[in-house]
Amino acid sequence: MDASTTQPGGTTLRPLPQRTAAPVRHRDRLEFLSAEWIDAVRDYLGPRVAERRDALRGKRTALCEIFTDAPPHLGYADNVAAFHIVVDDGELTVAPGALQDADYCMRADYNQTHVIATAVFADYPERQARMGAEAMHRHGDFFEAEGALDKAPAALLEAMAGMHDALGRRTVTNPDIEHRIDRLGMRRHVEEIEERGYTVVEGAVSDQLVTALEEDLRRLIDETGQGRVASMLLARGLIWEELAVHPWIHSIAQHLLGADCNMGQSLGFTKKQGEDTHRLHNDPPHPLTGDLCCNVTTIWALDDFTETSGSTLVVPGSHKWHRPPDPDAMDRAEKILMPKGSVALWHGSLWHGSSIRQDEGERLTIHNTYLRNWVRTFDSYLEIDPAILQRNPPTLTTLCGIDDLYGKNTYAGPDFSRVA
């Protein structure tokens, strides 16, 4: 049935598309280990422990988690954030601070652990295993644990079931981007982009993840029937959602574009022998934005970038010139060389393109572009499947442009109820 209506004067108003709503509004979001976050843990466990109080009588179980190098604004002494949970004779205590006599105690770096703390694992054991393995790849043994909960009452474990995901869906990334950049070791890369216009982050993903990405990308490319490109990857599966919020890469993008930057496009490409796919260019809206960076492109190497593989070309420093490439730009271009598993990032004003592939076979790459949230995106995720947002922290909602004020007007006026 056509739901359009005819207004006086003959104007026909057709229904606007149904945009996906933010599953967690701004006012309901929490910062990891903030007082409000600890309150939310208590609110989650309180009724569940109360329901099982009889089964917990006469027993005591205590656990704590300690996170070093927490952002200073949280106010913890020496920036060591900690909280504990104690159930003693059926009574629940949830409070900040560490415990000396905990049955189980975990210690980790705040920023290294953050991507795990905000993840949603329910019904996705492969995600939990993959994200844990990637954190180990990036940081080594990123947490220490003492004790165990193997003797904890079954009733308590039942009460705690689902708590991680319930909190993860509401927990935002550390808002102190500069603190995060430093603690994750990305300061050098930020400085390289500011000076040269690009940087290469080696070892961003493990060989195992490279293989998984390659297999799924080839599947998606084959599904198109065109044999070259797969697009809208952010909406194509768990592994692509995780890639979009990679803590190193996303942090650099936020530094350059703002904490509320969007995913401009998420593409996968193949490049065959002899192909010359891109002449030197700027990425829109550059070079018209002056010193303001509005576009950061990331290219993920699923194969080695060598002299003959068809590597990306760049003219270092050209992002400072604020103009399209000169006629002789190719004479000044250099190839980005990097091993598979690396990510190259560049400022949108940088003169860049792609060299001709000399090797046999295909080069396979992923291109994730981040934009300031008021720049028009190439992909549109405003109608993304709500289930995708439900199984991720608010960071993904922001990347999709769901929780800002743009594009939220209706015929009846602004509708900010979905994001307030």
pLDDT digits (tens, 9 = 90+) for 358-376: 999 998 999 999 999 999 9
As a whole number of angstroms, the distance between CA 253 and CA 247 comes to: 10
Whether residues 32 and 134 fall in one domain: yes
As a whole number of angstroms, the distance between CA 134 and CA 138 comes to: 6
Length of the chain: 420
Q: Which residue in 233, 296, 238, 237 sits closest to 267, CA to CA?
A: 233
Whether residues 62 and 88 fall in one domain: yes
As a whole number of angstroms, the distance between CA 323 and CA 298 comes to: 21
Whether residues 35 and 81 fall in one domain: yes
What three-state secondary structure class fits 67? strand
What is the DSSP track for 255-324? HHH-TT-EEEEEEEEEEETT-----SBPPTTTTTTTT---EEEEEEESS-B-TTTT-EEE-TTGGGS-SP
Whether residues 256 and 303 fall in one domain: yes
Whether residues 203 and 266 fall in one domain: yes
Which residues, at least 6 apart from 371, have a Cβ–Cβ distance to it below 8 Å? 257, 261, 262, 263, 264, 294, 295, 296, 377
Whether residues 64 and 208 fall in one domain: no
- Contact of 242 with 368, CB cutoff 8 Å: no
- Contact of 56 with 90, CB cutoff 8 Å: yes
Whether residues 147 and 237 fall in one domain: no
Both structure tokens of 408: 């939220």
How many domains is the chain built from?
2
Whether residues 229 and 203 fall in one domain: yes
- In this structure, the dihedral spanned by the alpha carbons of residues 246, 247, 249 and 251, taken in order and rounded to 10 degrees, is 140
Residues of the chain with pLDDT under 70: 1-11, 16, 418-420
Does a structural domain hold residue 208?
yes
Whether residues 92 and 161 fall in one domain: yes
Both structure tokens of 213: 């990405």
Q: What local confidence, expressed as pLDDT, does residue 2 receive?
A: 54
Return the CATH number at 107.
Answer: 3.30.1050
Does a structural domain hold residue 399?
no
Tell me which residue range forms the domain holding 371: 186-379
Does a structural domain hold residue 327?
yes
Whether residues 252 and 198 fall in one domain: yes
Return the CATH number at 271.
Answer: 2.60.120.620
Does a structural domain hold residue 130?
yes
Which residues, at least 6 apart from 84, have a Cβ–Cβ distance to it below 8 Å? 62, 63, 64, 65, 93, 94, 95, 96, 97, 98, 99, 102
Last residue of a domain, one of 122, 142, 175: 175
Whether residues 110 and 257 fall in one domain: no
Q: Which residue in 66, 207, 78, 33 sits closest to 137, CA to CA?
A: 207
Give the residue ranges of DSSP H helices in 304-419.
Answer: 386-390, 394-399
Does a structural domain hold residue 226?
yes
Q: What local confidence, expressed as pLDDT, does residue 6 receive?
A: 60
- Contact of 230 with 162, CB cutoff 8 Å: no
What three-state secondary structure class fits 399? helix
Does a structural domain hold residue 414?
no
Does a structural domain hold residue 411?
no
Whether residues 329 and 209 fall in one domain: yes
Q: What local confidence, expressed as pLDDT, does residue 420 receive?
A: 59
Question: Whose structure tokens read 């790849």?
Answer: 137
- Contact of 191 with 340, CB cutoff 8 Å: no
Between strands 104-109 and 334-335, the pairing is unpaired
Give the residue ranges of DSSP H helices in 352-403.
Answer: 386-390, 394-399
Does a structural domain hold residue 2?
no
Q: Which residue in 137, 86, 94 sits closest to 115, CA to CA?
A: 137
pLDDT digits (tens, 9 = 90+) for 150-200: 889 999 999 999 999 999 999 998 999 999 999 999 999 999 999 999 999
Q: Which residue in 150, 40, 153, 35 sits closest to 88, CA to CA?
A: 153
Which residues, at least 6 apart from 225, have a Cβ–Cβ distance to it below 8 Å? none
Last residue of a domain, one of 141, 175, 209: 175
What three-state secondary structure class fits 195? helix
